[in-house]
Amino acid sequence: MRAEIINVGTEILLGNIINTNSAYLSRKLAELGINLYKQTVVGDNMERLMTSLSDALNSVDIIITTGGLGPTQDDITKEAVAKCLNKKLVLDNESMQQIENFFMSRNKNMNEYNRKQAYFPEDSIILENTVGTAPGCIIESKEKTIILLPGPPNEMKEMFEKNVFDYLNKKSEQIIHSRFLRLFGIGESDVVKIIEDLIEEQDNPTIAPYADGYQVSLRITARAKDKTDAISLINMIEEKIQKRLGEYIYGRDYETLESVVLDVLASMNKTIAFAESCTGGMISSRIVSIPGASRAFVGSVIAYSNEIKIRELNTQKKTLRKYGAVSEKTAKEMAIDIRKSFDSDIGISTTGIAGPTGGTPEKPIGTVYIGLSYDNKVEVFHFHFKGDRNRIRKLTTFHALNILRKYLSSIS
Amino acid sequence: MRAEIINVGTEILLGNIINTNSAYLSRKLAELGINLYKQTVVGDNMERLMTSLSDALNSVDIIITTGGLGPTQDDITKEAVAKCLNKKLVLDNESMQQIENFFMSRNKNMNEYNRKQAYFPEDSIILENTVGTAPGCIIESKEKTIILLPGPPNEMKEMFEKNVFDYLNKKSEQIIHSRFLRLFGIGESDVVKIIEDLIEEQDNPTIAPYADGYQVSLRITARAKDKTDAISLINMIEEKIQKRLGEYIYGRDYETLESVVLDVLASMNKTIAFAESCTGGMISSRIVSIPGASRAFVGSVIAYSNEIKIRELNTQKKTLRKYGAVSEKTAKEMAIDIRKSFDSDIGISTTGIAGPTGGTPEKPIGTVYIGLSYDNKVEVFHFHFKGDRNRIRKLTTFHALNILRKYLSSIS
């Protein structure tokens, strides 16, 4: 079974918003073993949308659209699909009721445009929108299926998970299951070189490397009649990869450096605090993004100015004067002090020159020190990163988390 | 002139990475006044890529591809384009030299795959890659132009800005110029209702509203013979919008709440410090993402555990016991203390229940208090947000920045 995703919306076509919907839907279709043939983005333009719809009707079995179901005159997806299939738009009373309830429950007035959202191509299966106002629908016509979903990502996901996933699952025979191995501290081409033979000899599962500029992932994808069979195929190949690249592999699938270190800290009953300068809260914020961060994270000081480094972190004035805020000595003092003053088991500090100004010949932009303090010890790691301000901050954040991960695995 | 963007890569097609390249390129094409007809994503599959290329050659004048120029056997864009146009792939000596230099300068070994990157369809204009190893190219053939760019966003952008923008600028006659107005604190449908007449009566410039789930933007787009004419058309319509929606408009174009408040703070010579609990560093990190954050930002305490709230922020044990960590009283004490202990002009605090656990009937998930302390005053704002953990944290962050913005405009 072949599918195409058509994202409708001038705001996506013109690049004003990033298209996250197609990434989400693509992953879901892969899970379902549905062969995604193409993704297309078209603007809110009747003629072009109809061309894309008819092209897709000629080449795939399932079309999923997102966007264009809203209340404004730019929202034309239902009209375009109805025209393509020679269907009328008819009122769905239940949807009208739900839209009215949505506005009542929020004490908002409903306007005439919102009523448009209760009209659908005839014989549609209506998909309730529990998060927003625009319902979606499924239209089956001459062995083709067209699924219309709203544009806002949270509404689209909710609707897909509640209704569309099961609907599609019944249509599909074979499943594709993937597992991601997440690596840090090694480049894509080195990964490929180390497991080149595995990549080449494998047909099922396949191994594919990806890099996002910070980390490398390996996707292992198996085709099988069910998930259990797929998983055992994947396990066999993962074992081989672990033997060669184990030291760089920190997690699987949706695990992140922050979720992995938080889990390990919690399982070891250890607490952590950060003294952040150039990262400015980015490390802490990533840790706090994980549910249950309080299992191990007590808090942080963001010591951005020198005054705060001195006052809050007992960084010696002498140190700042003699070595500067971005120095091994300062990183050391910050890491020790945050651990002591926050009474945590581990303290981590960052100080660096993120740019765009502030670089010197001795300490160019990208100079970063990361301190790690535990027991009576302190280690400092020194980096020269390349890139713009936020790339340097992000690299510092990932390396700090990875330093923590490696320390934890060394003591476990 | 019509254009199509084709993103090549199974990792995008399968949704493993988010497609930011097409958003970037779309914006650039709009700036250049080139009419973007469609965006397409295809996997690393010779047959499908060739189909997409021939479809595009039939309907547009300019095709821009991203991805598939790398060293692995999956990288087939140059091969596909050459086949489509009946051209051979030929070695470019200069590119080979540059690839060799790239590896030398990084003390890395070059492998045989990297050599593939120096081959291009014959008669190509080569585009040097100063960030990575894969050069791009421009191929002109029978009044059509095909531009091949690398997949990694930083390499693609660098190449586009250095070479492709000027190349395309020479081809285009009329320009399209857009300005965004950024709004916070009002929903999209309310914005539309307030300026409905303006949206409908306008043809040039056009006004289009966008919402990302947190903020609303209005894009004003003018067509004109040059940028100066376009800007004066835009100014006229912005004036009308400002009269009706001025209180919600915090910035233009790439301004963000954080960049705006930082600029105002710096211009007023005022300093700020944050005491973050549920936001966990997110507010500070956004502030620090802006170059020159040190003009106004001194630092923050992330007081995640109650112990740290007591020790670092002098939050009264009594307050925590009687009212709880998520309370008006705690937010008040945190805001006052961070301002005093960090000696800043303004102190802002956040405390809330971000979930997924920790909610109670009296204080459900989404209960958030934001404190604002200045001079001898302190105000606390109380919210009930809906959504998952990170949506609640992000909403808290935006509201805190907006509270700061409104306070600053009230005293200026």
* HSE-CB of B288 using CA atoms within 13 angstroms: 32
What is the pLDDT averaged over residues A363-367? 95
CB contacts of A283 in chain B (<8 Å) are 281
What is the pLDDT averaged over residues B367-393? 95
By DSSP bridging, strand B35-42 and strand B2-8 are parallel
Which residues fall within 8 angstroms of residue A362, CB to CB, at 6 or more apart? none
Q: Where are the beta strands (DSSP E) in B353-411?
A: 367-374, 377-384
Which residues fall within 8 angstroms of residue A290, CB to CB, at 6 or more apart? A256, A258, A259, A262
pLDDT(A33) > 80: no
Could you tell me the pLDDT band of residue A200, with boundaries at 50, 70 and 90?
confident
What is the pLDDT averaged over residues B58-73? 91
Tell me B162's DSSP state. Answer: I
pLDDT(B259) > 90: yes
Which residues fall within 8 angstroms of residue A201, CB to CB, at 6 or more apart? none
DSSP of A211-225:
E-SS-EEEEEEEEES
CA–CA separation, B207 and B385 (whole Å): 30
Measured between alpha carbons, how far is residue B9 from residues A326, B74, B132 in Å? 41, 9, 18
Token readout for B326 is 């998520």
- Under 8 Å between Cβ of B89 and B79: yes
What is the pLDDT averaged over residues B152-161? 93
- Under 8 Å between Cβ of A41 and A12: yes
CB contacts of B301 in chain A (<8 Å) are 299-302, 312
CA–CA separation, B375 and B395 (whole Å): 26
What is the pLDDT averaged over residues B373-377? 95
CA torsion sign, A63 to A64 to A68 to A71? positive
- Position A377 scores a pLDDT of 96
Whether residue B15 and residue A30 make contact (CB cut-off 8 A), yes or no, is: yes
CA torsion sign, B248 to B250 to B254 to B256? negative
In a mutational test of the A interface, the residue from B16, B73, B357 whose CB has the highest number of chain A CBs within 10 Å is B16
Whether residue A23 and residue B25 make contact (CB cut-off 8 A), yes or no, is: no
What is the pLDDT averaged over residues B270-279? 97
Residue B69: CB atoms within 10 A of its CB come to 28
- Closest CB to A210: pick one of B16, B41, B281: B16
- Closest CB to B299: pick one of A15, A17, A304: A304
Whether residue A280 and residue B288 make contact (CB cut-off 8 A), yes or no, is: yes
Percent of chain B with pLDDT over 90: 67
Could you tell me the pLDDT band of residue B212, with boundaries at 50, 70 and 90?
confident
- Position A173 scores a pLDDT of 73
Whether residue A280 and residue B289 make contact (CB cut-off 8 A), yes or no, is: yes
Token readout for A135 is 């319902």
Mean pLDDT for chain A overall = 92
What is the pLDDT averaged over residues A160-187? 88
Whether residue A299 and residue B292 make contact (CB cut-off 8 A), yes or no, is: no
Q: At what angle do helices B389-411 and B257-267 cross, to 10 degrees?
A: 30
CB contacts of B32 in chain A (<8 Å) are none
pLDDT(A236) > 80: yes
Whether residue A16 and residue B356 make contact (CB cut-off 8 A), yes or no, is: no
Nearest Cα of chain B lies from the Cα of A130 at a distance, in angstroms, of 13
- Position B295 scores a pLDDT of 94
CATH of range A2-169; options 1.10.1040.10, 3.40.980.10, 3.30.300.30, 1.10.3720.10? 3.40.980.10
Token readout for B49 is 């890529």
Nearest CA in chain B to A47: B37
User: Would you put residue A185 in left (φ > 0), alpha (ψ -120 to 50) or beta?
Assistant: left
Q: Which tens digits make up the pLDDT trace of A320-341? A: 888 989 999 999 999 999 999 9
CB contacts of A287 in chain B (<8 Å) are 280
Mean pLDDT for chain B overall = 92
- Closest CB to A20: pick one of B18, B42, B291: B18
Residue type, A398: F
In a mutational test of the B interface, the residue from A6, A26, A54, A154 whose CB has the highest number of chain B CBs within 10 Å is A26
- Position A136 scores a pLDDT of 96
pLDDT(A176) > 90: no
Could you tell me the pLDDT band of residue A273, with boundaries at 50, 70 and 90?
very high
Measured between alpha carbons, how far is residue B133 from residues A132, A148, B127, B150, B161 in Å? 46, 41, 11, 9, 17
pLDDT(B327) > 80: yes
Could you tell me the pLDDT band of residue B374, with boundaries at 50, 70 and 90?
very high
Could you tell me how far CA A53 lies from the centroid of its own chain?
A: 29
Residue type, A217: S
Instruction: Name which residue leads in pLDDT, A379 or B187.
Output: A379
Measured between alpha carbons, how far is residue B180 from residues B176, B205, B240, B262 in Å? 13, 12, 14, 20
In a mutational test of the A interface, the residue from B25, B40, B41 whose CB has the highest number of chain A CBs within 10 Å is B41
What is the pLDDT averaged over residues A102-111? 77
Instruction: Name which residue leads in pLDDT, B200 or B122.
Output: B122
Containing H/E element for B295? Answer: none
CATH of range A257-411; options 3.90.950.20, 3.10.20.30, 1.10.1040.10, 3.40.710.10? 3.90.950.20
Token readout for B325 is 């960590």
Q: Is B44 helix (H, G, I), strand (E, B) or coil?
A: coil
Token readout for A102 is 């949505």
Measured between alpha carbons, how far is residue B225 from residues B31, B35, B168, B220 in Å? 12, 15, 16, 16
Residue type, B292: G
What is the pLDDT averaged over residues B100-104? 83
> Rounded to the nearest 5°, which phi and psi values hold at A205?
-75, 160
Whether residue B312 and residue A301 make contact (CB cut-off 8 A), yes or no, is: yes
Q: Where are the beta strands (DSSP E) in B184-271?
A: 206-211, 216-224, 249-252
CB contacts of B42 in chain A (<8 Å) are 38
Whether residue A36 and residue B48 make contact (CB cut-off 8 A), yes or no, is: no
Could you tell me the pLDDT band of residue B208, with boundaries at 50, 70 and 90?
confident
Nearest Cα of chain B lies from the Cα of A280 at a distance, in angstroms, of 5
Could you tell me the pLDDT band of residue A238, with boundaries at 50, 70 and 90?
very high
Whether residue B16 and residue A24 make contact (CB cut-off 8 A), yes or no, is: no
Nearest Cα of chain A lies from the Cα of B108 at a distance, in angstroms, of 10
Nearest CA in chain A to B254: A16
Percent of chain A with pLDDT over 70: 100
Whether residue A219 and residue B16 make contact (CB cut-off 8 A), yes or no, is: yes
CA–CA separation, A77 and A262 (whole Å): 44
pLDDT(A113) > 80: no
CA–CA separation, B278 and B324 (whole Å): 14
A·B CB contacts under 8 A? 262
- Position B139 scores a pLDDT of 96
- Position A249 scores a pLDDT of 98
Q: At what angle do helices B328-341 and B306-313 cross, to 10 degrees?
A: 40
For chain A, what are the domain ranges?
A: 2-169, 175-252, 257-411
- Residue count of chain B: 412
- Under 8 Å between Cβ of A354 and A340: no
Whether residue B291 and residue A212 make contact (CB cut-off 8 A), yes or no, is: no
pLDDT(A218) > 90: yes
Instruction: Name which residue leads in pLDDT, B308 or B411.
Output: B411
- Position B240 scores a pLDDT of 97
Could you tell me the pLDDT band of residue B203, with boundaries at 50, 70 and 90?
confident
- Under 8 Å between Cβ of B412 and B366: no
CB contacts of B401 in chain A (<8 Å) are none
CB contacts of A298 in chain B (<8 Å) are 304-305, 307-308
By DSSP bridging, strand B175-183 and strand B216-224 are antiparallel
- Under 8 Å between Cβ of A114 and A103: yes
- Closest CB to A38: pick one of B42, B282, B387: B42
Q: Is the peptide bond before A364 cis (omega within 30 degrees of 0)?
A: no
Whether residue B18 and residue A14 make contact (CB cut-off 8 A), yes or no, is: no
- Position B70 scores a pLDDT of 85
pLDDT(A16) > 80: no
CB contacts of B285 in chain A (<8 Å) are 279-282, 285
The CATH number of the domain covering residues in A175-252: 3.30.70.2860
CB contacts of B30 in chain A (<8 Å) are 14-15
- Under 8 Å between Cβ of A208 and A156: no
Q: Is the peptide bond before B291 cis (omega within 30 degrees of 0)?
A: no
Whether residue B48 and residue A27 make contact (CB cut-off 8 A), yes or no, is: no
Q: Identify which of B378, B320, B385 has the alpha carbon closest to the alpha carbon of residue B352.
A: B385
- Under 8 Å between Cβ of A399 and A381: yes
Q: Which tens digits make up the pLDDT trace of B116-143? A: 889 999 999 999 988 888 899 999 998 9
CB contacts of A312 in chain B (<8 Å) are 299, 301, 341-342
Which residue's entry shows tokens 């738009």? A89
Nearest CA in chain A to B11: A210
CA quadruple A158, A116, A38, A58: dihedral, nearest 10: 130
Q: Which tens digits make up the pLDDT trace of A64-83? A: 999 999 887 788 999 999 99
pLDDT(B229) > 90: yes
pLDDT(B35) > 90: no
Token readout for B252 is 């233009």
Instruction: Name which residue leads in pLDDT, B211 or A89.
Output: A89
Long-range contacts of B99-104 (CB under 8 A, 24+ apart): B99/B133, B99/B135, B102/B132, B102/B133, B103/B133
- Under 8 Å between Cβ of A115 and A134: no
pLDDT(A25) > 80: yes
